Structure 1
Amino acid sequence: MLLKHAFGLFTHPDSEWAEIRREHETPWHVLWAYVLVLAAIGPVCAYISTAMFGWTVGNERLIKLSNISAIQLSVLTYIAMLVGVLALGWMIDWMANTYGAKSEDDKSNGMALAAYAATPMFLAGFALLYPVPWFNALVFLAAAAYAGYLLFDGLPIVMGIQRERAIVYAGAVLTVALVILVTTRIGSVLIWNYGFAPQFIG
Protein backbone atom coordinates (compact mmCIF):
# COMPACT_ATOMS: atom_id res chain seq x y z
CA MET A 1 0.00 0.00 0.00
CA LEU A 2 1.32 3.42 -0.95
CA LEU A 3 0.52 4.95 2.45
CA LYS A 4 3.41 3.00 3.99
CA HIS A 5 5.75 5.48 2.30
CA ALA A 6 4.44 8.30 4.51
CA PHE A 7 6.17 6.81 7.56
CA GLY A 8 9.32 5.81 5.69
CA LEU A 9 9.90 9.32 4.38
CA PHE A 10 10.32 10.50 7.99
CA THR A 11 12.49 7.63 9.24
CA HIS A 12 14.69 6.63 6.27
CA PRO A 13 13.99 8.93 3.29
CA ASP A 14 16.86 7.81 1.05
CA SER A 15 15.88 4.14 0.98
CA GLU A 16 12.20 5.11 0.75
CA TRP A 17 12.84 7.24 -2.34
CA ALA A 18 14.74 4.33 -3.90
CA GLU A 19 11.76 2.07 -3.20
CA ILE A 20 9.38 4.62 -4.73
CA ARG A 21 11.51 4.74 -7.88
CA ARG A 22 11.55 0.93 -8.12
CA GLU A 23 7.76 0.71 -7.72
CA HIS A 24 7.24 3.14 -10.62
CA GLU A 25 3.52 3.51 -9.92
CA THR A 26 1.38 5.25 -12.51
CA PRO A 27 0.56 8.91 -11.77
CA TRP A 28 -3.15 8.15 -11.41
CA HIS A 29 -2.48 5.34 -8.97
CA VAL A 30 -0.35 7.67 -6.83
CA LEU A 31 -3.11 10.27 -7.01
CA TRP A 32 -5.96 7.92 -6.08
CA ALA A 33 -4.19 5.79 -3.50
CA TYR A 34 -2.05 8.44 -1.81
CA VAL A 35 -2.79 12.07 -2.58
CA LEU A 36 -6.59 11.85 -2.42
CA VAL A 37 -6.35 10.28 1.04
CA LEU A 38 -3.67 12.43 2.66
CA ALA A 39 -4.74 15.71 1.07
CA ALA A 40 -8.11 15.34 2.81
CA ILE A 41 -6.54 15.59 6.29
CA GLY A 42 -6.15 19.37 6.29
CA PRO A 43 -9.58 20.28 4.86
CA VAL A 44 -11.40 17.85 7.17
CA CYS A 45 -9.54 19.09 10.26
CA ALA A 46 -10.06 22.70 9.18
CA TYR A 47 -13.79 22.09 8.81
CA ILE A 48 -14.01 20.55 12.28
CA SER A 49 -12.03 23.32 13.96
CA THR A 50 -13.59 26.31 12.19
CA ALA A 51 -17.21 25.13 12.27
CA MET A 52 -17.28 23.38 15.65
CA PHE A 53 -14.45 24.72 17.85
CA GLY A 54 -13.84 28.24 16.57
CA TRP A 55 -10.81 30.38 17.36
CA THR A 56 -9.84 33.61 19.06
CA VAL A 57 -7.23 36.24 18.27
CA GLY A 58 -5.92 37.88 21.43
CA ASN A 59 -8.76 38.61 23.84
CA GLU A 60 -11.43 38.82 21.16
CA ARG A 61 -14.63 36.79 21.19
CA LEU A 62 -14.79 33.25 19.83
CA ILE A 63 -15.13 33.22 16.04
CA LYS A 64 -16.57 30.37 13.97
CA LEU A 65 -17.47 29.81 10.35
CA SER A 66 -21.00 28.89 9.38
CA ASN A 67 -21.41 25.22 8.50
CA ILE A 68 -22.02 25.92 4.79
CA SER A 69 -19.07 28.32 4.58
CA ALA A 70 -16.73 25.85 6.31
CA ILE A 71 -17.75 23.09 3.90
CA GLN A 72 -17.32 25.32 0.84
CA LEU A 73 -13.87 26.52 1.90
CA SER A 74 -12.73 23.00 2.85
CA VAL A 75 -13.81 21.58 -0.52
CA LEU A 76 -12.13 24.44 -2.40
CA THR A 77 -8.93 23.94 -0.37
CA TYR A 78 -8.98 20.21 -1.14
CA ILE A 79 -9.38 20.86 -4.87
CA ALA A 80 -6.56 23.44 -4.79
CA MET A 81 -4.24 20.94 -3.10
CA LEU A 82 -4.96 18.25 -5.70
CA VAL A 83 -4.44 20.67 -8.59
CA GLY A 84 -1.25 21.96 -6.96
CA VAL A 85 0.27 18.48 -6.65
CA LEU A 86 -0.71 17.58 -10.22
CA ALA A 87 0.73 20.83 -11.58
CA LEU A 88 3.98 20.44 -9.63
CA GLY A 89 4.37 16.82 -10.75
CA TRP A 90 3.83 17.81 -14.36
CA MET A 91 6.34 20.66 -14.07
CA ILE A 92 8.98 18.40 -12.49
CA ASP A 93 8.72 16.04 -15.44
CA TRP A 94 8.53 18.90 -17.96
CA MET A 95 11.84 20.30 -16.67
CA ALA A 96 13.49 16.86 -16.53
CA ASN A 97 15.37 17.03 -19.85
CA THR A 98 16.78 20.46 -19.01
CA TYR A 99 18.55 19.05 -15.94
CA GLY A 100 19.68 15.76 -17.42
CA ALA A 101 16.87 13.53 -16.20
CA LYS A 102 14.79 11.40 -18.51
CA SER A 103 11.28 12.69 -19.17
CA GLU A 104 8.72 9.88 -19.28
CA ASP A 105 5.58 9.53 -21.33
CA ASP A 106 3.49 8.59 -18.29
CA LYS A 107 5.04 11.33 -16.05
CA SER A 108 5.27 8.80 -13.19
CA ASN A 109 8.50 10.00 -11.58
CA GLY A 110 7.53 13.67 -11.49
CA MET A 111 4.12 12.92 -10.03
CA ALA A 112 5.56 10.53 -7.43
CA LEU A 113 8.16 13.11 -6.38
CA ALA A 114 5.58 15.89 -6.01
CA ALA A 115 3.10 13.69 -4.15
CA TYR A 116 5.51 12.12 -1.68
CA ALA A 117 7.51 15.30 -1.04
CA ALA A 118 4.22 16.98 -0.05
CA THR A 119 3.65 14.39 2.69
CA PRO A 120 4.76 16.69 5.58
CA MET A 121 2.35 19.38 4.35
CA PHE A 122 -0.49 16.87 4.20
CA LEU A 123 0.19 15.54 7.71
CA ALA A 124 0.55 19.06 9.11
CA GLY A 125 -3.17 19.37 8.47
CA PHE A 126 -3.76 17.61 11.79
CA ALA A 127 -2.52 20.79 13.50
CA LEU A 128 -5.65 22.57 12.29
CA LEU A 129 -7.65 20.70 14.92
CA TYR A 130 -6.05 23.15 17.37
CA PRO A 131 -7.15 26.43 15.79
CA VAL A 132 -4.52 28.80 17.14
CA PRO A 133 -3.03 30.86 14.28
CA TRP A 134 0.56 31.13 15.58
CA PHE A 135 0.68 27.38 16.36
CA ASN A 136 -0.66 26.47 12.91
CA ALA A 137 1.84 28.83 11.26
CA LEU A 138 4.78 27.23 13.09
CA VAL A 139 3.66 23.69 12.26
CA PHE A 140 3.16 24.47 8.57
CA LEU A 141 6.47 26.34 8.39
CA ALA A 142 8.28 23.30 9.81
CA ALA A 143 6.35 21.02 7.43
CA ALA A 144 7.25 23.21 4.44
CA ALA A 145 10.93 23.12 5.43
CA TYR A 146 10.93 19.32 5.65
CA ALA A 147 8.98 19.04 2.39
CA GLY A 148 11.70 21.14 0.73
CA TYR A 149 14.36 18.85 2.18
CA LEU A 150 12.50 15.75 0.91
CA LEU A 151 12.26 17.28 -2.54
CA PHE A 152 15.99 18.03 -2.61
CA ASP A 153 16.83 14.58 -1.23
CA GLY A 154 14.50 12.71 -3.58
CA LEU A 155 15.27 14.48 -6.87
CA PRO A 156 18.57 12.76 -7.68
CA ILE A 157 17.22 9.37 -6.60
CA VAL A 158 13.80 9.41 -8.26
CA MET A 159 14.81 11.36 -11.38
CA GLY A 160 18.16 9.58 -11.76
CA ILE A 161 20.47 12.61 -11.96
CA GLN A 162 23.68 13.71 -10.25
CA ARG A 163 23.27 15.43 -6.88
CA GLU A 164 25.12 18.50 -8.16
CA ARG A 165 22.51 19.04 -10.84
CA ALA A 166 19.76 18.28 -8.37
CA ILE A 167 20.60 21.44 -6.40
CA VAL A 168 19.70 23.70 -9.33
CA TYR A 169 16.78 21.44 -10.32
CA ALA A 170 15.39 21.57 -6.77
CA GLY A 171 15.68 25.36 -6.77
CA ALA A 172 13.65 25.53 -9.98
CA VAL A 173 11.02 23.13 -8.61
CA LEU A 174 10.71 25.05 -5.34
CA THR A 175 10.26 28.25 -7.34
CA VAL A 176 7.43 26.62 -9.29
CA ALA A 177 5.91 25.38 -6.03
CA LEU A 178 5.99 28.94 -4.66
CA VAL A 179 4.31 30.26 -7.82
CA ILE A 180 1.59 27.60 -7.49
CA LEU A 181 1.08 28.57 -3.84
CA VAL A 182 0.79 32.28 -4.64
CA THR A 183 -1.58 31.49 -7.51
CA THR A 184 -3.89 29.53 -5.22
CA ARG A 185 -3.89 32.39 -2.68
CA ILE A 186 -4.81 34.89 -5.40
CA GLY A 187 -7.40 32.45 -6.73
CA SER A 188 -8.91 32.20 -3.25
CA VAL A 189 -9.43 35.97 -3.09
CA LEU A 190 -11.00 35.98 -6.55
CA ILE A 191 -13.34 33.10 -5.66
CA TRP A 192 -14.43 34.92 -2.51
CA ASN A 193 -15.81 37.66 -4.76
CA TYR A 194 -18.12 35.14 -6.42
CA GLY A 195 -20.15 34.13 -3.38
CA PHE A 196 -17.65 31.91 -1.55
CA ALA A 197 -16.42 34.45 1.00
CA PRO A 198 -16.19 33.15 4.59
CA GLN A 199 -19.37 33.66 6.64
CA PHE A 200 -18.42 34.23 10.27
CA ILE A 201 -20.67 33.59 13.25
CA GLY A 202 -20.04 34.58 16.85
Structure 2
Amino acid sequence: MLLSHAFGLFTHPDDEWISIRKEHAPPRRLYVAYVLVLAAIAPVCAYISTAHFGWTVGNDRLIKLTEISAMQLSVLTYLAMLVGVFALGYAINWMAKTYGAVEEHVPSNGIALASYSCTPLFLAGFALLYPVPWFNAIVFLVAACYGAWLMYDGLPIVMGIEKERAVMYGGALLTVALVILVSTRVGSVLIWNMGFGPVFTN
Protein backbone atom coordinates (compact mmCIF):
# COMPACT_ATOMS: atom_id res chain seq x y z
CA MET A 1 0.00 0.00 0.00
CA LEU A 2 1.35 3.42 -0.96
CA LEU A 3 0.56 5.01 2.42
CA SER A 4 2.94 2.57 4.14
CA HIS A 5 5.81 4.51 2.55
CA ALA A 6 4.99 7.53 4.71
CA PHE A 7 6.13 5.76 7.88
CA GLY A 8 9.18 4.22 6.20
CA LEU A 9 10.47 7.60 5.02
CA PHE A 10 10.90 8.60 8.68
CA THR A 11 12.40 5.34 9.96
CA HIS A 12 14.56 3.98 7.10
CA PRO A 13 14.43 6.42 4.14
CA ASP A 14 17.13 4.79 1.99
CA ASP A 15 15.39 1.40 1.99
CA GLU A 16 12.07 3.11 1.36
CA TRP A 17 13.41 5.01 -1.67
CA ILE A 18 14.70 1.74 -3.13
CA SER A 19 11.25 0.22 -2.62
CA ILE A 20 9.59 3.25 -4.23
CA ARG A 21 11.88 3.05 -7.27
CA LYS A 22 11.08 -0.64 -7.78
CA GLU A 23 7.36 -0.05 -7.32
CA HIS A 24 6.91 2.27 -10.34
CA ALA A 25 3.41 3.27 -9.24
CA PRO A 26 1.61 5.03 -12.15
CA PRO A 27 1.29 8.78 -11.50
CA ARG A 28 -2.52 8.61 -11.49
CA ARG A 29 -2.59 5.84 -8.87
CA LEU A 30 0.06 7.64 -6.81
CA TYR A 31 -2.00 10.82 -6.87
CA VAL A 32 -5.28 9.17 -5.93
CA ALA A 33 -3.98 6.80 -3.24
CA TYR A 34 -1.30 9.02 -1.70
CA VAL A 35 -1.26 12.71 -2.61
CA LEU A 36 -5.05 13.28 -2.59
CA VAL A 37 -5.26 11.65 0.86
CA LEU A 38 -2.28 13.21 2.64
CA ALA A 39 -2.63 16.65 1.04
CA ALA A 40 -6.11 16.90 2.57
CA ILE A 41 -4.72 16.87 6.14
CA ALA A 42 -3.66 20.53 6.25
CA PRO A 43 -6.79 22.02 4.60
CA VAL A 44 -9.14 19.98 6.82
CA CYS A 45 -7.23 20.86 10.00
CA ALA A 46 -7.01 24.52 8.92
CA TYR A 47 -10.77 24.61 8.32
CA ILE A 48 -11.50 23.18 11.77
CA SER A 49 -9.10 25.50 13.59
CA THR A 50 -9.94 28.74 11.76
CA ALA A 51 -13.73 28.26 11.73
CA HIS A 52 -14.24 26.64 15.15
CA PHE A 53 -11.19 27.16 17.41
CA GLY A 54 -9.91 30.55 16.29
CA TRP A 55 -6.52 32.08 17.12
CA THR A 56 -5.06 35.06 18.92
CA VAL A 57 -2.03 37.26 18.25
CA GLY A 58 -0.56 38.57 21.49
CA ASN A 59 -3.34 39.66 23.85
CA ASP A 60 -5.80 40.50 21.09
CA ARG A 61 -9.29 39.05 20.92
CA LEU A 62 -10.03 35.63 19.48
CA ILE A 63 -10.07 35.68 15.66
CA LYS A 64 -12.23 33.30 13.62
CA LEU A 65 -13.25 32.95 9.98
CA THR A 66 -16.80 32.32 8.89
CA GLU A 67 -17.43 28.70 7.98
CA ILE A 68 -18.00 29.54 4.30
CA SER A 69 -14.80 31.59 4.10
CA ALA A 70 -12.79 28.89 5.89
CA MET A 71 -14.16 26.27 3.52
CA GLN A 72 -13.33 28.34 0.41
CA LEU A 73 -9.78 29.01 1.56
CA SER A 74 -9.25 25.36 2.54
CA VAL A 75 -10.40 24.12 -0.87
CA LEU A 76 -8.17 26.65 -2.66
CA THR A 77 -5.22 25.61 -0.48
CA TYR A 78 -5.87 21.95 -1.27
CA LEU A 79 -5.94 22.64 -5.02
CA ALA A 80 -2.74 24.71 -4.76
CA MET A 81 -0.99 21.83 -2.99
CA LEU A 82 -2.04 19.34 -5.67
CA VAL A 83 -0.85 21.63 -8.46
CA GLY A 84 2.40 22.34 -6.60
CA VAL A 85 3.27 18.65 -6.18
CA PHE A 86 2.49 17.98 -9.84
CA ALA A 87 4.57 20.97 -10.99
CA LEU A 88 7.54 19.85 -8.88
CA GLY A 89 7.26 16.29 -10.23
CA TYR A 90 7.12 17.65 -13.79
CA ALA A 91 10.24 19.74 -13.11
CA ILE A 92 12.08 16.68 -11.79
CA ASN A 93 11.33 14.74 -14.97
CA TRP A 94 12.07 17.74 -17.19
CA MET A 95 15.54 18.26 -15.68
CA ALA A 96 16.35 14.55 -15.50
CA LYS A 97 18.38 14.38 -18.73
CA THR A 98 20.41 17.44 -17.80
CA TYR A 99 21.71 15.75 -14.66
CA GLY A 100 22.24 12.32 -16.22
CA ALA A 101 19.24 10.54 -14.71
CA VAL A 102 18.38 7.08 -15.99
CA GLU A 103 15.55 7.34 -18.53
CA GLU A 104 12.32 5.51 -17.85
CA HIS A 105 9.62 4.34 -20.26
CA VAL A 106 7.00 5.52 -17.75
CA PRO A 107 8.03 8.88 -16.27
CA SER A 108 6.65 8.07 -12.82
CA ASN A 109 9.84 8.57 -10.82
CA GLY A 110 9.67 12.37 -10.83
CA ILE A 111 6.10 12.45 -9.53
CA ALA A 112 6.95 9.78 -6.95
CA LEU A 113 9.99 11.72 -5.73
CA ALA A 114 8.00 14.96 -5.43
CA SER A 115 5.04 13.27 -3.73
CA TYR A 116 7.01 11.34 -1.15
CA SER A 117 9.42 14.23 -0.44
CA CYS A 118 6.40 16.35 0.48
CA THR A 119 5.27 13.78 3.07
CA PRO A 120 6.65 15.74 6.08
CA LEU A 121 4.82 18.86 4.90
CA PHE A 122 1.60 16.89 4.43
CA LEU A 123 1.82 15.43 7.95
CA ALA A 124 2.78 18.81 9.45
CA GLY A 125 -0.77 19.85 8.58
CA PHE A 126 -1.92 18.24 11.85
CA ALA A 127 -0.18 21.11 13.67
CA LEU A 128 -2.85 23.46 12.33
CA LEU A 129 -5.29 21.99 14.83
CA TYR A 130 -3.35 24.04 17.40
CA PRO A 131 -3.71 27.47 15.75
CA VAL A 132 -0.76 29.32 17.28
CA PRO A 133 1.17 31.14 14.53
CA TRP A 134 4.70 30.73 15.96
CA PHE A 135 4.12 27.03 16.69
CA ASN A 136 2.78 26.39 13.18
CA ALA A 137 5.71 28.28 11.63
CA ILE A 138 8.27 26.17 13.53
CA VAL A 139 6.56 22.87 12.68
CA PHE A 140 6.32 23.70 8.96
CA LEU A 141 9.92 24.97 8.87
CA VAL A 142 11.20 21.71 10.36
CA ALA A 143 8.97 19.73 7.96
CA ALA A 144 10.26 21.71 4.97
CA CYS A 145 13.88 21.08 6.00
CA TYR A 146 13.27 17.35 6.37
CA GLY A 147 11.39 17.26 3.06
CA ALA A 148 14.35 18.96 1.33
CA TRP A 149 16.71 16.41 2.88
CA LEU A 150 14.44 13.55 1.78
CA MET A 151 14.54 14.86 -1.79
CA TYR A 152 18.33 15.13 -1.74
CA ASP A 153 18.58 11.63 -0.24
CA GLY A 154 16.15 10.13 -2.75
CA LEU A 155 17.47 11.74 -5.93
CA PRO A 156 20.44 9.38 -6.48
CA ILE A 157 18.33 6.32 -5.68
CA VAL A 158 15.08 7.10 -7.49
CA MET A 159 16.52 8.94 -10.50
CA GLY A 160 19.64 6.78 -10.84
CA ILE A 161 22.29 9.51 -10.72
CA GLU A 162 25.61 9.95 -8.92
CA LYS A 163 25.52 11.51 -5.45
CA GLU A 164 27.77 14.36 -6.59
CA ARG A 165 25.21 15.41 -9.19
CA ALA A 166 22.39 15.13 -6.67
CA VAL A 167 23.66 18.27 -4.90
CA MET A 168 23.24 20.47 -7.99
CA TYR A 169 20.05 18.68 -9.06
CA GLY A 170 18.59 19.12 -5.58
CA GLY A 171 19.57 22.80 -5.52
CA ALA A 172 17.84 23.38 -8.84
CA LEU A 173 14.71 21.61 -7.59
CA LEU A 174 14.63 23.64 -4.38
CA THR A 175 14.76 26.77 -6.53
CA VAL A 176 11.79 25.46 -8.53
CA ALA A 177 9.97 24.69 -5.26
CA LEU A 178 10.53 28.26 -4.06
CA VAL A 179 9.23 29.63 -7.37
CA ILE A 180 6.12 27.46 -6.99
CA LEU A 181 5.68 28.71 -3.41
CA VAL A 182 5.98 32.36 -4.46
CA SER A 183 3.57 31.75 -7.34
CA THR A 184 0.95 30.35 -4.96
CA ARG A 185 1.36 33.40 -2.70
CA VAL A 186 0.89 35.76 -5.65
CA GLY A 187 -2.04 33.64 -6.83
CA SER A 188 -3.58 33.91 -3.35
CA VAL A 189 -3.48 37.70 -3.48
CA LEU A 190 -5.09 37.72 -6.92
CA ILE A 191 -7.81 35.30 -5.85
CA TRP A 192 -8.48 37.30 -2.67
CA ASN A 193 -9.01 40.39 -4.83
CA MET A 194 -11.61 38.45 -6.82
CA GLY A 195 -13.80 38.09 -3.74
CA PHE A 196 -12.43 34.91 -2.14
CA GLY A 197 -10.52 36.65 0.64
CA PRO A 198 -10.89 35.75 4.32
CA VAL A 199 -14.11 36.87 6.00
CA PHE A 200 -13.86 37.17 9.77
CA THR A 201 -16.65 36.67 12.29
CA ASN A 202 -17.79 39.60 14.40
TM-score range, shorter chain: over 0.9
Paired positions, count: 202
Q: RMSD between aligned alpha carbons?
A: 0.7
Match of 1:77 in 2: 77
Shift in CA distance, 95/146, structure 1 to aligned 2, threshold 3 Å: same
Match of 1:131 in 2: 131
Matched, 1:187 2:177: no
Which range moves more in the overlay, 29-38 or 103-112? 103-112
Match of 1:114 in 2: 114
Query: 1: distance between equivalents of 2:178 and 2:103?
Result: 22
Query: 2: distance between equivalents of 1:104 and 1:62?
Result: 53
Query: 2: distance between equivalents of 1:200 and 1:73?
Result: 12
Match of 2:19 in 1: 19
Match of 2:174 in 1: 174
Match of 2:8 in 1: 8
Query: 1: distance between equivalents of 2:88 and 2:105?
Result: 16
Query: 2: distance between equivalents of 1:87 and 1:104?
Result: 19
What TM-score, normalized by structure 1, do the two folds share? 0.99
Query: 1: distance between equivalents of 2:102 and 2:178?
Result: 24
Match of 2:91 in 1: 91
Query: 2: distance between equivalents of 1:79 and 1:180?
Result: 13
Match of 1:49 in 2: 49
Which range moves more in the overlay, 73-82 or 101-110? 101-110
Displaced runs of 4+ in structure 1, greater than 4 A? Answer: none
What TM-score, normalized by structure 2, do the two folds share? 0.99
For structure 2, list consecutive stretches of 5 or more residues without a partner in the other structure: none
